[in-house]
Structure 1
């Protein structure tokens, strides 16, 4: 039986935090966080007249009801392993030597896992992404990765996270772009304002490990159709990610064996071979699925064309 995504209460990570005085790595004990329902404001456009019915809904779609059991109290222990990649707001590592409640978990119950560690100045962005994983619970394991929680720990003055220095961001500005749209469309949640000012917290998402990213070069039409369908699924929830469509955010479904099975989409019933990741810049809107899919189409076509050109230039 697959482990519910809310079963883990505490994670202990080895190899993540360093004592500045001794320069030794020390265990980091992080506790599950809960995202407030109002953490992310809705990007709401009023519908001026009935002729806009194809474009705008009267309100944003409600979050689908959760089908998870009551939150669990399990504890997970793991070691930071291979570096997988990084971006504006986070750094991703594999976990190995994973134990759940003191024993090695059944791989048919717990998939291979990764942690996405927020950069020290991007805590609000990771909290925002955690909110969208909660919002899209019904798509986890289908169109997006399974997310096993958002966890945080306050660092003491003599503790640091070596990954922050080992994998610095290309953009070192203190401005948190993930909150720009929130400022534009509503009041930024006070938790987010507080989080954006802090530099003494390690914050992580615990996620199912996926396969390789979308390759450069020509893609078969079946793959393009499947990737496009990921965005169709997200559109049904009123979620817009049009400003962040790029190959780095499209990964193959898990390739290792054994792995948890891919689930059919609750909207298209398609079993996808790909997953969409990275939701720090997503927006919750009252745009209809038709309008969102229309907005996605030219951006996806451009992504496929650019990937093919880049593959030809750098085979």
Structure 2
């Protein structure tokens, strides 16, 4: 079945993934992952200090909107690991996981819950965070090893990345878990070397303003994290924003680095707009500007 045909984001309780795990002989072992719900207190909020002018830039933390999901379902979905679509700091992406990055996946899952009302608006739909603990002799299969080596070489400092969260710090030391974040399949990246058009550019700016309404700062705005919304006859349609009523053509991904802050929406929108500006203004010239440039 296609996850795009599942209308309830919490309909799936179990995943069986084929092609991900092997035993000591290199034989594929189907692995069953259970849906895991991030606790509400998993991610500490980032309180911005009073040195940010003007005085009206800060306020109380915006509460999480109540979930509108129905009672949790009990679907068991079988998946076969497909073509690798990309990879980042915390995971690699296949069409259907990652060991040693359990805390990052958990943190991203928490933000999908925090921003539930914006799934299908400016975020992909997230069908859940699923985990399994590997038994002795089990390991990730050969199709994931090259990516795993590349990503494992990146430095990780739990004391910094997971500051003030005992749960995340403990997860960051887990080495025997496989975590899967099951997301809606997105479209392609923004075009390069051609004019983007005023409507598209405004939409890219404005979608970061949507998460700012909930006090969230993306913190990883880059070209590869802006993808077209999915399209097709079997795809769930985009839904209008609960804040503006707007329907967006694109989505932001890779939200594990987000921060929940006490910044007012206009402040967070301005901050994020400065990063968006450097990207969209250079794409027509064929240049991709990264945050570290």
Q: If the length of structure 1 is used for normalisation, what is the TM-score?
A: 0.83
Query: Is residue 2:21 matched to residue 1:17?
Result: yes
What does the per-residue CA deviation read over 1:156-214, in whole Å, with 9 as the maximum and x for residues that have no partner? Answer: 1211112441323545346436873541xxx22x3322211121111010111111122
Query: Is residue 2:223 matched to residue 1:240?
Result: no
Partners of 2:183 and 2:39 in 1: CA distance: 20
**Deviation (angstroms), 1:137:** 0.3
* Long gaps (5+) in structure 1: 96-116
**Deviation (angstroms), 1:51:** 5.7
For residue 234 of structure 2, the aligned residue among 258, 272, 279 is: 258
**Deviation (angstroms), 1:308:** 3.2
Q: Which has the higher strand share?
A: 1
**Deviation (angstroms), 1:18:** 1.1
Which residue number in structure 1 is paired with residue 35 of structure 2? 32
Partners of 1:231 and 1:177 in 2: CA distance: 27
Query: Is residue 2:9 matched to residue 1:8?
Result: no
Partners of 1:266 and 1:30 in 2: CA distance: 32
CA RMSD in angstroms, aligned pairs only: 2.2
What does the per-residue CA deviation read over 1:261-297, in whole Å, with 9 as the maximum and x for residues that have no partner? Answer: 1000111111010001111111000000100111112
**Deviation (angstroms), 1:151:** 0.3
Which residue number in structure 2 is paired with residue 224 of structure 1? 201
Partners of 1:8 and 1:164 in 2: CA distance: 24
Q: How many residues align?
A: 282
SS at structure 2 position matched to 1:167:
helix
Which residue number in structure 2 is paired with residue 69 of structure 1? 70
* Long gaps (5+) in structure 2: 289-293
SS at structure 1 position matched to 2:19:
strand
For residue 152 of structure 2, the aligned residue among 172, 180, 184 is: 172
Partners of 2:182 and 2:278 in 1: CA distance: 31
Native 8 Å contact 1:211 1:251 kept in 2: yes
Residues 182 and 200 (structure 1), Cα distance of their counterparts in 2 relative to 1, 3 Å cut: closer
Partners of 2:6 and 2:145 in 1: CA distance: 36
For residue 273 of structure 1, the aligned residue among 249, 252, 255 is: 249
Q: If the length of structure 2 is used for normalisation, what is the TM-score?
A: 0.89
SS at structure 1 position matched to 2:83:
strand
SS at structure 1 position matched to 2:183:
strand
SS at structure 1 position matched to 2:117:
helix
SS at structure 1 position matched to 2:274:
helix
Query: Is residue 2:52 matched to residue 1:52?
Result: no
Native 8 Å contact 1:144 1:277 kept in 2: yes
SS at structure 1 position matched to 2:21:
strand
Which residue number in structure 2 is paired with residue 293 of structure 1? 269
Native 8 Å contact 2:89 2:154 kept in 1: no
Which residue number in structure 1 is paired with residue 110 of structure 2? 131
What does the per-residue CA deviation read over 1:137-169, in whole Å, with 9 as the maximum and x for residues that have no partner? Answer: 000111100000000001112111124413235
Which residue number in structure 2 is paired with residue 42 of structure 1? 45
Native 8 Å contact 2:121 2:241 kept in 1: yes
Which residue number in structure 1 is paired with residue 291 of structure 2? none
For residue 142 of structure 1, the aligned residue among 115, 118, 121 is: 121
